[in-house]
Structures are given as C-alpha cells and as structure tokens.
Structure 1
Amino acid sequence: MKTFSSIKELLAVLSREQKLITEIFEKRKVLSYRFDDALEVLDYNEDKLRALIEFAVIRENGPYLELDDQFLQFFEQILEVNEEINVSYINENLQSIRQNILYYLQENSESRKYNYLRQVKSALRKTGIIAIRNVVDLKRNIDNTFKNEPNYKIKKAKLEHLDIKRNDIAALVALTEHLISEEEEQTFFKTAADEELQRIIISLKSQLNSCRHNLIDIQKQIIDFLNRLKFQSGLLEKVRQLKYLKDQFELRSKTDIVQVLSSNHALVFEPNPAYPLKLSIDQLQSDDDTLEIIKRVVSRVRSGPRAKQLLSDNNLTDYLEDNVEELVQINLEEVKNSFLAGSNNLFDFLQAYDFGKPVSFEELLTVYCQLISQYDELFRLTDDYQTKGKTEYLLIYPL
C-alpha cells in the first residue's frame, strides 16, 4: 500500500478523482458501486482506479468498491452527516485536558508552557463541538429509527440503545462541567491569564448548557416513542386476533363485540339524521301564500333547457356480437399452497414460480405483499433482509 508523500499530493489525487469519490460517498450506505461503474466514470482508465486503491482511498470488497474508513469518517465529520454516536472522543479530550493542565502547572519553561496551553485550548474547543454534534446525531438517529425502521423489535432495541447513548452523553457533559470548575483546574485557569482561553470557556459553557437542555427534550421524545410502540404493538395484536376470529366465524361466540358495540353510543355509530318538511293537507287547501311559494319552486326546477332524449337505432347487431376476452388471474391460494410445500424463501420462490403468464417485477412485488397480508400466520417471518436492485425485502419461510 502506498502512502501520500505530502499534502499537495493528497489534495491533487482527491481533486483529480473528485467525481468518482463523490459518487461512491453518496452510495456509502448501499453497497452497490461496482468496479465497472468506476471505470466508466474514469473513462475506462484503470490506472487511475488502481492508484486510488493503492493509496487506500478506495477499497475493493469483492466486485464492489467503497471508501476507506478513515476517508469516509473524515468526509462525514466535515460535512456533519455522521450518524455514529461516539462518546469516547469527549472522554479522550477530557483526559488530554487534565494531562496538559498538569504538565502546564509543573513546567518551568515558558515556551513549553505555551504549547501545553495551546493543546488545552484545542481540546476544549473540540469537546464543545463534539458534544453538540453527538446531540444532533442522536436526535437525527432517533427520528430516523422511529419513522423508517420497519421491524418492531429492532426499532424498540435501537431506541433503547440510543437512550443509553443519551445517558453517556449526559454523563460526559456533567464531567466536562465539573472539570472546568474543579479547584485544581481553577488554579490553572487563573494562572494562565489568557483572553482567548476565557472566551473558549464561556463558549464551552454555553454549548454544554445547550446540550443539557436538548438531552432533556430527547429523553422525553424517546419515552414518547417507546410508549407509542407499546400502544401500537398492543393494538395491532388485538386487530390480528379479531381478524383471525372473524375469518373463523367465531367473532360473535368468543367475544362480547355485540354487547360492546351496542353499549357504545358514539356519534360515529349514529345514523345520519334527516329532517323532512311535510306540509299539512289543510294548509295546502286553504293557504294561498303556500300555493304561490310552491309554484315559484316548481318554476325554478323546470327552468333551463330540457335535454332531448335520443332514440336508439333499431339495428342492434353490433351489440349482440359475442366478444369474449380471457383474463388470466393469479390464484393466491394455489401459490400459497405451492410455497408451503417447499423450503425456499418467499421472494425467490415467486421469482421461479410459473404463473401461466409473464409477470413483471412490480406485479411480483404485489403478489409478495398480498401473500404476507393474507397468510402471515402460516409463514415464518425472519429478521433478515436481502436486496435486489433498489428493492429490499424480508426473508420469509414456511412454518
């Protein structure tokens, strides 16, 4: 593996192949960037691609290419799109601050003291920035998990894990606040009378205060999301049980649904009221004003052009022709029985199944979803996923 001899060489390589690096970075979450696709971007100049691989900017993973971890982390941190929450950075900075403060207090040389002071400033700046980024990444991960994770068990486990991360960040924020207020460190801050250091400490306190308030809101959000998951899970389970009893024609005998619905007087169950206006015969016979009103209403109803009704042609031969159009429909019951008799996963089974007619990929996905919704109690749903093209599907097997 080659190494860059200078920053100039590093920037030159990254700038020259920026188009390829940008495309691979955009597809970093989906391992789908092939070697041939990279050659096409580089105008089929394999030497350029091999140079990136030798410098460890890009790594080969079978037939695919991906950015090396150090470059990937660098781009994600600079662009603030990193979703990994790593509290160890804050802990390492705290240790660095303590060590450099101790070195500063024990050092007699002014030049070396200034170096230690500069390292303390740098670590304090990084601590505030990393704390803020971790809080932002934590909130983004919580939202993405709750909105986009389809598996209930995985969603709950991820939210509980993120809550542990929240506790870790809160503990490190408290340690940082304690660090800049300890008696030994206060001696350092008073001894190192530096205007820039004071500005950094004020900014750090403001950042830590913002982190603390945001972590309180995040804790409330996690609790709310977990409560929603618990409620949705219980409601979904009840709906499944009711559907099963309904399909077995046992809903009335095994539940009190009739008594519950009859005792529920919610407005949604009430029929729409009608208020007909009926005039008495005596009033119609004796009241001239009522008669005039009725005449005016009738004249309004009759006003406007009347459509002339067209008579149909007597020759109905064209309508009596016996045209038959045959439609081949998919029998889901037959497909289900064939699947239960085998051992392959549902998606691969459907791809190899003979439907008796050409079936497009979109129709195949529709049949896949219909089988799951109607016969899920006969299938074994795993937690594993596979990807075909841009479609990710769950691995499902017969019970």
Structure 2
Amino acid sequence: MNTFSNLKELLRALQMEEKLLSEMFVKRKSLVYRYDFALEMVDYKEEKIQFLIDHSVIYKNGDYLELDTQYLDFFENVLGVNEEINTSYINENIRNVRENINYLLNEKNEIRRYNYLRFIKNTFKKIALSTFKNVVDLRRNIDTTFKNEPNYKNKKAKLENLDRKRLDILDLIYQTENLISSEEKTFFKAALDEELNNIIIQLKRDLIECSHNLIETEKQIIEFLNQIKYQSGIIEKLRKIKYLKDQFIIKDGTDIIEVLSQRNLVVFEKQPTYPVKLSPDFLATDEGFEAIKRISGRIKTKAEIKIPVAENISRDQLDTQIQEEVLINLEEVKNNFMATGNNLFNFLMNYNFLKEVSFPERVTLYCQLISQYEEIFEIISSYETFQDIEYTLVYPKTN
C-alpha cells in the first residue's frame, strides 16, 4: 500500500479526481458503486482509479468500488452529515483535558505551558461542538427510526438503544460540568487567561442548551415507545381475529357481532362520494373527450357520440394568389460600390434601386453593408452630416 508523501500530493490527488470522489460520496448510502461507472467518470483511464486504490482512497470489491472509511468519515465530519452518535469521542476529549491540566501544572517552561493551555482550549471547543452535534443527530435518528423502520420489534429495539445513547450524552455533560466546576476549579481560577474564561462560559451555555434538548428528546422517545406498544397491541389483536375468522369460529368463539352492533363508528358507515363537475374548458380538450368516452363505456349508454364535420371549403378559398416582392441584393450593391470612388453614404443616397427606397431604409442599408463587408472597406475617422445624421466616411479599400 502506497502513502502520500506530503499534504500537497494528497490535495492534488483529491482535486484531480474530484468528480469521481464527489459522485461516490453522494451515493455513499447506496449498496454498490460499479467499477464501470467510475471508469466513465475518469474518461476510461484505469490508471487514475488504480492510483486511488493504491493510495487507499478507495478500495475495490469485485466489480464495485467504495470510499475508504477514513476518507468517508473525514468528509462526513467536515460537511456535518455524519449521523453516527459517537459519545466515546467526547469521553476521550474529557480525559485529554484532565491529562493536559496535570501536564501544565507540572511544567515550568512557559512555551510548553502555553502549548498545553492551547490544547485545553481547543479540546473544550471540540467538546461543545461534538456534544451539540450528537444531540442533533440523536433527535434526527429517533424521528427517522420511528417513521421509516417497518419492523416493530426493530423499531422498539433501535429506540431503546438511542435512549441509552441519550443517557450516555447526558452523563458526559455532567462529567464536563463537574470537571469545570469541581475537579479543576482551582486551575481555572488560577489560569488567568481571558480567552479560556470566555470558552468556558460559552461551553457552559452550550451544555445547558444540550441538557434542555435531551429532556425534550426523552419525552419524544417515551411517546414513540408508547405508540409502538399501542400499535403492537392492535396488530396482535388483529392477528387473533384473523385466525378466528380463517377458522370460521369467530362468531361462535367471540362476541364480535354484539360488540359491533353496539358501536356506531364512522368507519362502519358507507363512505360518501362527492361528484366533481368537469370544467367546459377541460371537456373541450382531447383528454376531456377521452374521459367522456371512458365514462360512456362504463355507463353502457346506447347513445352514439358524433364528431361534428366541418363545412366544405369554398372554391374561392382554394384559389392561389401570387404576391411578388422585390428584394435588395446586398452583394450586388457592394460590387457596384467597389467599382466607384465615391463614399458609401453618398453612393447609397444616389443609387437607383429597382423599387422605391426611403431615406431611413437607405441609412439601414449603409449600416448593413459596413457590418457585413467591413474587411474590404476603408473606414476613415472623418465625419460628415446629412439631414441631422452624422455618418462616417467609408471608401472601397485599395490594395
């Protein structure tokens, strides 16, 4: 297995195959990502995929590819999309704080003391961020499990496991508060560091907010578990009723007829129907006509639907009419201009067209000719004026 020699090489590799890695990350929850799909993403250059495999960015499993765990965890943690609740990370940070406090108290060198203090500050920031993220992920997982898990036994087991994780997070919050308020109270008073004090104050606020959220989470778990218990009881009763019905002993073995006769629930009533009238605009469309035919076939009416026939087209409307229009040939005008020594504007003002051409139309032709044949015209920076119009002097270009 090869490793990247430095950070620059790693970042370059990730950037070069950004398209493939992004696609694999987006589809990380899919069961498989085919090798053929990856080849298409890298323009069928197998050496690019092999480079990522050799450096353990991805690994190959038969005809399929997957992102390596360490890169997958890194991407999810940085982007904040990791739904896994990891309480051991918080516990490890608490232990690291305790250890570095002891190191700092035993150290006499100011530079090393500062390094220990900086590590403690960063760790407290990590604790706040990790705790808050775990609380958010916990609530999301609880809601997702209750709504999407089809198996009642698994749903109950998952919710109970999530409740245990809630208790673990709550215990870690108590440990952190105890570390700040009791265990190392003397250290925090003697630290005399304004930034550390601000971090501790913000950490306490975040932990209080997380504790309040966990209280609401506990209520939510209890409510969901009660609903599962109630729904499971209903399903169990339905299974027993179905068994008795299948055995044809439901009437003799139970009092279901008597119970149902005493209840007047809406579910036992005939479901009302409310016909909706179709709009005339809809009925005038082809889709509306098809709907009418379907309804007519269902009713089995003998009435025949006749499509109205349009009237005959009169002979006058069939007579062809020819309309002639004289068009100006710009190529011919250009050739005639190139044979003269006059400027383009005066040439067009005096040009004899085959039809009547107004002054604005001649100005338009002036602009069109310059636009299309600029490379063979010599455009001079001098200007002249004609009828309040200022125009540039344009002559045929001579080689």
Give the Cα separation in 2 of the matches to 1:143 and 1:247: 37
SS at structure 1 position matched to 2:60: strand
1:68 match: 68
Aligned to 1:357: none
Number of the residue aligned with 1:191? 190
Cα offset, 1:197, TM superposition? 0.7
Cα shift at 1:58: 0.4
Q: CA distance change for structure 1 residues 28 and 118 in 2, over 3 Å: closer, same or farther?
A: same
Task: Give me the TM-score of the superposition, normalised by structure 2.
Answer: 0.66
Quote the residue 2:92 is aligned against. Answer: 92
Give the corresponding residue for 1:167. 167
Amino acid corresponding to residue 58 of structure 1 in structure 2: I
Distance 1:146 1:114 in 2: 48
**SS of residue paired to 2:181:** coil
Distance 2:172 2:269 in 1: 58
Aligned-residue offset at 1:138? 1.0
Q: Distance in 1 between matches of 2:134 and 2:62?
A: 33
- Report the 3-state secondary structure (helix = DSSP H, G, I; strand = E; otherwise coil) of the residue aligned with 1:206: helix
In the alignment, the residues of structure 2 paired with residue 194 and residue 237 of structure 1 have an alpha-carbon distance, to the nearest angstrom, of 63
Q: Distance in 2 between matches of 1:108 and 1:118?
A: 16
Contact 1:31 1:66 in 2 (8 A): no
- Code of the aligned partner of 1:251: I
Structure ID, larger Rg: 2
**SS at the partner of 2:4?**
coil
Residue in 2 aligned with 1:2? 2
Structure 1 counterpart of 2:227: 228
User: What is the letter of the counterpart of residue 190 of structure 1?
Assistant: K
Flag as ranges the 4+ runs of structure 1 deviating above 3 A: 265-272, 310-313
Over 3 Å counting, the alpha-carbon distance change for 1:256 and 1:178 in structure 2 is same
1:31/1:64 contact within 8 Å kept: no
Shifted more, 141-150 versus 171-180: the winner is 141-150
* Alignment check: 8 A CA contact 1:100 1:120 kept: yes
* SS of match in other structure, 1:103: helix
- For residues 327-342 of structure 1, the aligned pairs below 5 Å read none
Deviation string, structure 1 residues 125-150 (Cα, Å, up to 9, x no partner)? 00010001111111111111111111
Give the 3 Å change call, closer, same or farther, for CA 271–7 of structure 1 in structure 2: closer
CA contact (8 A) 2:39 2:45 kept: yes
Name the SS of the counterpart of 1:82 in structure 2: coil
185-194 or 237-246, larger mean C-alpha shift: 237-246
Q: State whether structure 2 residue 244 is matched by structure 1 residue 245.
A: yes
For residue 216 of structure 2, give the secondary structure of its aligned residue in structure 1: helix
Deviations 1:187-224 (A, max 9, x none): 21122211111111111111101110111111111111
Between Structure 1 and Structure 2, how many residues are aligned?
275
Distance in 1 (CA, whole Å) between partners of 2:269 and 2:214 is: 47
**TM-superposed deviation, 1:240:** 2.2
Between the aligned partners of 1:15 and 1:87, the Cα distance in structure 2 is 32
Return the alpha-carbon distance in structure 2 between the equivalents of residues 267 and 29 of structure 1: 44
Can you list the C-alpha shifts for 1:6-56, whole angstroms capped at 9, x where unaligned? 211111111111111111112212222011111111010001101111111
| 1:86 CA drift (Å) | 1.1
Amino acid at match of 1:256: D
Equivalent residues of 2:32, 2:66 under 8 A apart: no
Contact 1:85–1:134 (Cα < 8 Å) also in 2 = yes
Deviates more, 1:162-171 or 1:243-252: 243-252
Cα distance in 2 between the residues matched to 1:27 and 1:99:
41
In the alignment, what sits opposite 1:41? 41
Unmatched runs of 5 consecutive residues or more in structure 2: 272-300, 305-399
CA shift for structure 1 position 80? 1.1
**Partner of 1:243: helix, strand, or coil?**
helix
Deviation at 1:166, TM superposition (A): 0.7
Q: Which residue of 2 aligns with 1:365?
A: none
Aligned-residue Cα RMSD (Å) equals 2.1
Check whether the contact 2:124–2:199 (CA below 8 A) recurs between aligned residues: yes
Distance 1:26 1:267 in 2: 47
Query: How much has 1:267 moved relative to structure 2?
Result: 6.7
Distance 2:213 2:264 in 1: 44
SS in 1 for 2:66: strand
Partner-residue secondary structure (3-state), 2:192? coil
SS of the counterpart of 1:182? Answer: helix
Closer, same or farther: CA 203–257 of 1 in aligned 2, 3 Å = same
Partner letter of residue 198 of structure 2?
Answer: R
Q: Which residue of 2 aligns with 1:30?
A: 30
Q: Does 1:138 align with 2:138?
A: yes
1:238 CA displacement:
1.2
Distance 1:129 1:170 in 2: 15
Given the two structures, how large is their TM-score scaled by the length of structure 1?
A: 0.66
Question: For 2:138 and 2:233, how far apart are their aligned partners in 1?
Answer: 27
Deviations 1:295-332 (A, max 9, x none): xxxxxxxxxxxxxxx9979xxxxxxxxxxxxxxxxxxx
- Say if 1:267 and 1:67 are closer, same or farther in 2 by CA, change over 3 A: closer
- In the other structure, the counterpart of 1:101 is 101
Matched, 1:218 2:214: no
